[in-house]
Chains A and B, each alone.
Chain A
Amino acid sequence: MIKNDNKTKIEVKNLNLFYGTNQALFDITANLYENKITALIGPSGCGKSTFLRCINRMNDLIPIVKIDGKIIIDNKNIYDKDVDEVSVRKKIGMVFQQPNPFPKSIYDNVAYAPLKHGIVKKGKDCDELVELSLIKSGLWNEVKDKLNQPGTSLSGGQQQRVAVARALANQPSLILADEPTAALDSHRGRQVMELFAQVAHESGTGVIVVTHDTRALEVFDRIVEMEDGRLRPTSAEHLGKNHV
């Protein structure tokens, strides 16, 4: 069932990453596609989270990290000197392992970043964006009556959906998720994974998920396996999915 509608979204070329003198990623070259949900799997410590964090330059927050190689998004290498990492992260959303709502209301959790980035102005536009984002993350019906309650009042699964809505509200072209289901039970975890698949297929936003959770692998279009800081070229065939 190999479809040939793969449009390259991200081109990773010869990416090497060092923590001080320790090399963590070795010469990674890969293409990641639009409209696809990609899983990044591998044993603990294989560098999959590190690789994921290269894509939105989150590793820049760690002073000792050195990166060479290119990650080309929309024909621009994000590690070029004239690219500000803040604007990279605006275009590439991220969902984390721990549900981490801001200490604000559910509404403000979703609305904060788009307001700061000037995507919407306060008022009707913003209300609509919040509603749309929460509908996309499948949370609207549960929270529409309590948008002013703190985000921390929700359950873990709901908080993770708020995080997805928060990322979506920024209108990113790509969403990265770092073990988003690790803190959830398998049922809720699966719901979140299915949500990501839906987001990828319906809104054209590519999704890359680092996961340990092998029970939900069938929701992914592609699976990329890593080992010791390198991509495993055979992994995709082994799982019967599209090739890297």
Chain B
Amino acid sequence: MIKRKKQKQNNNPFYDSTLKARHNKASIFKNLTLASLIFSIVFLGFFLFDIIGKGIPAFKIAYVQVNVTIDEKSLDDTRFAVAKEHREIVSRAWLRDIPALIKEKPELMNTTTAMWVLADDQVDQYLKGNNHKLKDKDITIVEKFKEEGLIKTKFNAILFTNGDSKTPEYAGLYSAIIGSILTLIITMAVAFPIGVMTAIYLEEFAGDNKFTRFIEININNLAAIPAILFGLLGLAIYINLFGLPRSSPLVGGLTLALMTLPIIIVSSRAALRAVPDSIRQAGYGLGLNKIQVTRDHVLPLAFPGILTGSILGLAHAMGETAPLIIIGMIAFIPDAPGSITQAATVMPAQLFTWAGMPEGMYIEKTAAGIMVLLTILISLNAIAIYLRKKFEVKW
């Protein structure tokens, strides 16, 4: 029986006894690679699902309608602006802003008006069905308000218009966003020109000798150094040596510039190297000098690549936290910085601070902040891809 089967297979001129095992190995290998892909997709999906699930509710926040009495007494201690039984369900931080409200609308002085007041974070968490610390009597009041339609959830504009706060419902990303923008402006203003110029020198002017090769190796190494070391460098140089103000976007930007430089240099060199040498030859053949060839003919072709690399470097810098912690940009900073020398924090550092808070609302806001940060990063990457496609020259 066995013999016959073998006989039959041997009649096939394409029969190869090792083939089946080889095909099996190939299919195992293929399945392994596929499994790795699925593994990453599942994790990414889980991450997104978790973040979005936690973050979406933070874009809505509860308001309650209560009578607000504004007089000398309540201006002195704003807690007295609302009736005693309502004090636990409204936001104290919101009430603290009543003097500012009076400056804007003086006609409200010595009146009692029904106002939509920001609810306390515990009320918001209760309404969203999360863990809360509301007392039973407050729950009764909230339920009563709910029946009478005196509680509603609105779009959480506070998340974008307020700075950080120790009161969870009053905390927002505004100062961190401004801090991030100022920091990144400094980063790009320093790293882009220096990076591109360095790349031009190394690629167009420097000869191929031991010294330039040594520099090249070190630039590549710099791109792989743990970011926190750049923070220590920034602390040592900018703050201790130059005496620049701690926690400021100036120092943060300069520190991130150190970190972004190697990325910009490496990507700009790659872009310059991709410009066909025949363009340079054509330029030199016409008696143009190095600057005319480089500036007018090589750079325009390399520019999309340089821009793409720089935007990716910018995105990288934007998500960086570790070096900024070292130079003090992690401090509690409720106000947006007015200039690059004032204390500021940045978005990832703000998220880091919130993530360490016990209140449920901070956890929500962390997730919402991650969504905002991810949106900005994905937009930056999309811009990079768009620019590359738009200015790409085919050869």
> Which of A58, A91, A103 is close to B281, meaning CB atoms less than 8 Å apart?
A58
**Known: A116-B292, A152-B393, A152-B394. Is A102-B279 also a contact (CB below 8 A)?**
yes
Main secondary structure of the interface of B (DSSP, over half): helix
> Are B278 and A167 within 8 A (Cβ)?
no
Q: Contacts of B276 on A, CB cut-off 8 Å?
A: 98, 100
A231 at the binding interface (Cβ < 8 Å) = no
- Complex CA gap A108/B60 in Å reads 57
> Are B284 and A117 within 8 A (Cβ)?
no
B243 at the binding interface (Cβ < 8 Å) = no
- Complex CA gap A56/B297 in Å reads 21
> Are B301 and A103 within 8 A (Cβ)?
yes
CB distance from B201 to the nearest CB of A (A): 16
Q: Contacts of A58 on B, CB cut-off 8 Å?
A: 281, 284-285
CB distance from A5 to the nearest CB of B (A): 29
B106 at the binding interface (Cβ < 8 Å) = no
A93 at the binding interface (Cβ < 8 Å) = yes
B19 at the binding interface (Cβ < 8 Å) = no
> Are B284 and A89 within 8 A (Cβ)?
yes
Q: Which residue of A lies closest to B287 (CB)?
A: A90
A26 at the binding interface (Cβ < 8 Å) = no
| Residue from A56, A101, A103, A167 with most neighbouring chain B CB atoms (10 Å) | A103
B300 at the binding interface (Cβ < 8 Å) = yes
**Known: A63-B207, A103-B393, A152-B393. Is A96-B287 also a contact (CB below 8 A)?**
no
Q: Which residue of B lies closest to A117 (CB)?
A: B287
Q: Contacts of B301 on A, CB cut-off 8 Å?
A: 103
> Which of A63, A86, A98, A103 is close to B287, meaning CB atoms less than 8 Å apart?
A86
> Are A167 and B297 within 8 A (Cβ)?
no
Q: Contacts of B393 on A, CB cut-off 8 Å?
A: 103, 152
Within 8 A of B (CB), among A129-186: 152, 163, 166-167, 170
Q: Contacts of A152 on B, CB cut-off 8 Å?
A: 393-395
Q: Contacts of A91 on B, CB cut-off 8 Å?
A: 287
| Residue from B276, B284, B286 with most neighbouring chain A CB atoms (10 Å) | B286
> Are B287 and A100 within 8 A (Cβ)?
no
A2 at the binding interface (Cβ < 8 Å) = no
> Are A89 and B287 within 8 A (Cβ)?
yes
B282 at the binding interface (Cβ < 8 Å) = yes
- Complex CA gap A134/B104 in Å reads 72
> Are A167 and B279 within 8 A (Cβ)?
no
B288 at the binding interface (Cβ < 8 Å) = yes
B99 at the binding interface (Cβ < 8 Å) = no
Tell me the count of chain B residues lying within 8 A, CB to CB, of chain A.
22
B289 at the binding interface (Cβ < 8 Å) = yes
> Are B285 and A96 within 8 A (Cβ)?
yes
Q: Contacts of A63 on B, CB cut-off 8 Å?
A: 207-208
B283 at the binding interface (Cβ < 8 Å) = yes
Within 8 A of B (CB), among A86-142: 86-91, 93-96, 98, 100-104, 112-113, 116-117
> Are B287 and A87 within 8 A (Cβ)?
yes
B76 at the binding interface (Cβ < 8 Å) = no
Q: Which residue of B lies closest to A90 (CB)?
A: B287
> Are A170 and B282 within 8 A (Cβ)?
no
- Complex CA gap A42/B393 in Å reads 35
Q: Contacts of B207 on A, CB cut-off 8 Å?
A: 63
> Which of B281, B296, B394 is close to A100, meaning CB atoms less than 8 Å apart?
B281
Q: Which residue of B lies closest to A56 (CB)?
A: B285
> Are B286 and A113 within 8 A (Cβ)?
yes
A1 at the binding interface (Cβ < 8 Å) = no
> Are B281 and A166 within 8 A (Cβ)?
no
| Residue from A86, A104, A166, A167 with most neighbouring chain B CB atoms (10 Å) | A86
- Complex CA gap A91/B286 in Å reads 8
Within 8 A of A (CB), among B272-316: 276, 278-279, 281-289, 292, 296-297, 300-301
Within 8 A of A (CB), among B337-395: 393-395
Within 8 A of A (CB), among B195-244: 207-208
Q: Contacts of B288 on A, CB cut-off 8 Å?
A: 86, 112-113, 116
- Complex CA gap A159/B296 in Å reads 19
CB distance from A98 to the nearest CB of B (A): 5
CB distance from A88 to the nearest CB of B (A): 8
| Residue from A61, A102, A166 with most neighbouring chain B CB atoms (10 Å) | A102
> Are B297 and A102 within 8 A (Cβ)?
yes
Q: Contacts of B292 on A, CB cut-off 8 Å?
A: 116
Q: Which residue of B lies closest to A114 (CB)?
A: B286
> Are B286 and A100 within 8 A (Cβ)?
no
> Are A103 and B285 within 8 A (Cβ)?
no
- Complex CA gap A170/B279 in Å reads 17
CB distance from B343 to the nearest CB of A (A): 46
CB distance from B272 to the nearest CB of A (A): 14
- Complex CA gap A100/B288 in Å reads 15
Within 8 A of A (CB), among B89-103: none
- Complex CA gap A89/B290 in Å reads 13
> Are A170 and B287 within 8 A (Cβ)?
yes
CB distance from B299 to the nearest CB of A (A): 10
12 additional A-B residue pairs with CB within 8 Å, beyond A90-B287, A167-B286: A58-B281, A61-B284, A86-B287, A89-B287, A94-B281, A94-B282, A94-B285, A95-B285, A98-B276, A103-B297, A116-B292, A166-B286
Sample (19) of A-B pairs whose CB atoms are under 8 Å apart: A58-B285, A61-B284, A86-B287, A86-B288, A88-B287, A89-B287, A90-B286, A94-B286, A96-B281, A96-B282, A98-B278, A102-B297, A103-B393, A104-B300, A112-B286, A113-B288, A116-B288, A166-B282, A170-B286
Binding site for B on A (CB under 8 A): 56, 58, 61, 63, 86-91, 93-96, 98, 100-104, 112-113, 116-117, 152, 163, 166-167, 170
For the complex of A and B, 7 pairs with smallest distance between CB atoms? A90-B287, A94-B285, A100-B278, A89-B287, A113-B286, A100-B282, A98-B278
